[in-house]
Structure 1
Amino acid sequence: MARVVFLHPDLGIGGAERLVIDAAVALKTRGCSVQIWTAHYDPTHCFSETHDPDLPVVCVGDWLPTSLFGYLHALCAYLRMIYVALYLVFLSGLEYDVIFCDQVSACIPVLRLSRHRKKVLFYCHFPDQLLTQRKSTLKKLYRAPIDWLEERTTGMADMILVNSQFTAGIFRETFHSLSRVQTDVLYPSLNMHTFDQSSTETRGLEGLLPEETTCMFLSLNRYERKKNLGLALEALAILMCNLPPGQRAGIHLVIAGGYDDRVTENVQHYTELKDLAEQLHLGDCVTFLRSPSDSLKVALLQGSTAVLYTPSREHFGIVPVEAMYCCCPVIAVNSGGPLESVADGETGFLCEPTAEAFSKAMERFVKEPHLRRDMGEAGRRRVQDKFSVQAFSDQLYGYIVILSQ
């Protein structure tokens, strides 16, 4: 029985966290001993599986700052994860065979200090250095050593996995010294059991929307500017202008996603989006939800006409997969992970990242109601074939067996 420890910076609510939880659960069901170690864990702001006593979550180092006066977030994240790794190796007394870490590779050299060398599997969601802008010389100077450290430490892992073919290509382009390192693709899976359970909040969904709602579009993403959530609002505004008055009354948009009061950007961007909705005169046809529960999220997906997935060059994106499993078509930007998850014209539409392109796709669902049913059924079949828990579990367990030998 392999003993696996997961190291993750912040066990909140997001695509990376979803993958870590699914990976831990998958290995636990295969008989592995599993623990999750993190620098931050809030039981009220996490996925429900972490409440399972058979899936231990160990939180250390949360007293360390996440930023200094609102700056140096990356440096603080690196220091927090290095502390977690030091605690695990030197103070915990825990016996383990494989370390699964993601997002922050700076902890890998510390893991090498273990008296009995353990194997390290690093899962690359996307190179961290590509997730931040360098508009000033000072920012470039600050990021230079961090970027160098990311590349150097990533290469120290015994095995590197990525979440899509798109990310595999970006990995080779970004980490030049690692261009010949083998990176296998492990697509994130979907915990279908969660979605198969009848939602306890489905009936409560009616109270969230105007009674005359006949066509609901859903944007499901964290409140971060890089997710380009404003595109959904702008597309809705154009759609409303193009529809006759009789059809406008039934159109509604729900913007829902992860929200954390500790994250300044979440707080600011939530306000920015509400202001944009007012500027576009959409106040009565948009509902904003912060950190919806798992059951409410399922109810939203099941009740939506289509999901609007607005990020560009998203490394994978689990939301389109979740939507398709719920028989909900997806309108997504034609770049990044959705190119691999969404079948254009079959399970949804891949569009240019413009409000005009998104509004045209939305208009088709309004005027051709059968598309929701036909594309929804095709999407569910695609997820079952390509992103099943069984396929994910078999592939991941195979890697763990290789590393633990």
Structure 2
Amino acid sequence: MRVALYHPWVYLKSGLERTLLEIHRRSRHQVTIYTSHYDRDGTYPELAETGVVELPRVSVRRSYGQVLAAAAQIARTRIDPASFDALVISCEGLGDLLTLRNHDKPVLSLCFTPLRAVFDDAYRTRLLDRVGPVGRPLALGLEAGFRAIDRACWRHYSAAVAISDTIRQRIDAGGLWPADRVQVFYPGIDAGRIAAGSGSDPYFLISGRVMWTKNIGLGLEAFALAKKNLPGWRLVVAGMVDEKSRAYADDLMARGREIGDVEFRIGNTDAEMRALYDRCSALLFTPFNEDWGLTPLEAMAAAKPVIAVDRGGPRESVADGVTGFLAPDDPAAFAARMVQLAQDPALAKRLGEAGLERARLFTWDAFVSGLDDAIETMVEERRELVAV
């Protein structure tokens, strides 16, 4: 079966781009990736080998004007329906707009999240605080308009898949699609990489994109509180910084220098990231309301415990007190758990070993197989409907 897989922007080395790559690699169907913004130098180099199809380009900037321009362009973009048998729209916000001109064939929503600025209450609250009282009326007006348009777009879907139960509930709460009709398949890890690390060095790891939604300041302030009880310990922040987040990253690095024993490693290879997971003592997962999160799985696959914010996706991956700890979004709470793990190596080892076993529940093969099944069922149901 020919499957067109669309995502608005493919330009980072994030879990989302990794998911697109793994779908292309592992699907039993012929998958072609389409996007409205492709940066082959900024994302995984392997994606260039998949034959990514570039559609009319949109900006990745998040100002209101540029978002509206991107939305308008996506809404009027059309993919030749003769080139595919099923369309999968991978969306974290604006991708739904592609359905307006592309619903001749069955369309499946692979939902990473509905637009967070509208449908994620935790994100929405922080965003409204950021725009302040002057920008609030405009933000609320645009929000109301987008809600109406997005609900109309969702009527063009024939099936829906969410990457976590957190997202399934967000879809339902937003009035986009009934929860009992949304299937959940978890993006995961390569089963072949599930193996205990080669040791444990005295450092905590924060891994992933360096941007404001990742709440990395929580980890810095927690380490500042914990380090007086942890002589010789370090905090390593490893990931990538895109141009939009450069100022944020610079502020974090300045704070890290004030705290001391904080190391930023930007632009690592996959091998370098694996080495960091293998040698760390524990992972700190700090996003304030993550949709799912691959980095806790990577840590558990290396038999390392995870301390994560007790909200969103980590509630589904991290078993509190078994594979790590779920903690409030509070530096003191994180610091207490960090000290506990550092001073009790037997506990850290026990949690890590349990995480290693739990990681086996979340593999790429299981995710892609489930998605393939959902696509096939959708297409077959459409054929039966047409036949009637």
- Structure 1 length-normalised TM: 0.83
Give the structure 2 partner of residue 260 of structure 1.
242
Report the AA paired with residue 288 of structure 1: F
Give the structure 2 partner of residue 183 of structure 1.
182
Q: Is the 8 A contact 1:309 1:320 kept in 2?
A: yes
CA separation of 1:7/1:143 partners in 2, compared to 1, >3 Å: closer, same or farther?
same
For structure 1, the residue ranges without an aligned partner over 5 or more in a row are 203-212
Q: Is the 8 A contact 2:196 2:301 kept in 1?
A: no
Q: Is the 8 A contact 2:111 2:160 kept in 1?
A: yes
Instruction: Name the Cα RMSD after superposition.
Output: 2.4
Give the structure 2 partner of residue 342 of structure 1.
318
Give the structure 1 partner of residue 385 of structure 2.
none
Once the two structures are superposed, what CA deviation does each residue of 1:295-344 show, in whole Å capped at 9, x if it has no partner?
Answer: 21111111111110011221111111111112121100111111110111
1:215 CA displacement = 0.8
For structure 2, the residue ranges without an aligned partner over 5 or more in a row are 381-388
Give the structure 2 partner of residue 142 of structure 1.
142
SS at match of 1:343: coil
Report the AA paired with residue 223 of structure 1: V
Give the structure 2 partner of residue 206 of structure 1.
none
1:154 CA displacement = 2.1
Give the structure 2 partner of residue 251 of structure 1.
233
- Within the candidate set 105, 115, 137, 1:118 is matched to 105
**Which contiguous aligned blocks of 4+ residues in structure 1 show a shift greater than 3 angstroms?**
64-68, 177-181, 195-199
Give the structure 2 partner of residue 76 of structure 1.
69
Report the AA paired with residue 31 of structure 2: V
Give the structure 1 partner of residue 203 of structure 2.
216
SS at match of 2:9: coil
CA distance in 2, matches of 1:227, 1:217: 16
Once the two structures are superposed, what CA deviation does each residue of 1:134-173 show, in whole Å capped at 9, x if it has no partner?
Answer: 3411221233212321222123211111111122122211
Once the two structures are superposed, what CA deviation does each residue of 1:30-57 show, in whole Å capped at 9, x if it has no partner?
Answer: 2x111101122222221243143xx221
- Within the candidate set 77, 84, 89, 1:96 is matched to 84
What is the count of residue pairs matched by the alignment? Answer: 362
CA distance in 2, matches of 1:301, 1:393: 24
SS at match of 2:141: helix
CA separation of 1:180/1:329 partners in 2, compared to 1, >3 Å: closer, same or farther?
closer
Q: Is the 8 A contact 1:164 1:337 kept in 2?
A: yes
SS at match of 2:83: coil
Give the structure 2 partner of residue 235 of structure 1.
222
CA separation of 1:179/1:34 partners in 2, compared to 1, >3 Å: closer, same or farther?
closer
CA distance in 1, matches of 2:209, 2:323: 23
- Within the candidate set 366, 371, 375, 1:396 is matched to 371
Give the structure 2 partner of residue 107 of structure 1.
98
Q: Identity of counterpart residues, as a percentage?
A: 27
1:189 CA displacement = 2.1
CA separation of 1:181/1:77 partners in 2, compared to 1, >3 Å: closer, same or farther?
farther
Q: Is the 8 A contact 1:13 1:258 kept in 2?
A: yes
CA distance in 2, matches of 1:186, 1:277: 37
CA separation of 1:118/1:318 partners in 2, compared to 1, >3 Å: closer, same or farther?
same
CA separation of 1:315/1:65 partners in 2, compared to 1, >3 Å: closer, same or farther?
closer
- Structure 2 length-normalised TM: 0.86
Superposition pairs of residues 349-388 of structure 1, within 5 angstroms: 349-384=325-360, 386-388=361-363
Is the counterpart of residue 324 in structure 1 residue 300 in structure 2? yes
Report the AA paired with residue 286 of structure 2: T
Give the structure 2 partner of residue 58 of structure 1.
53
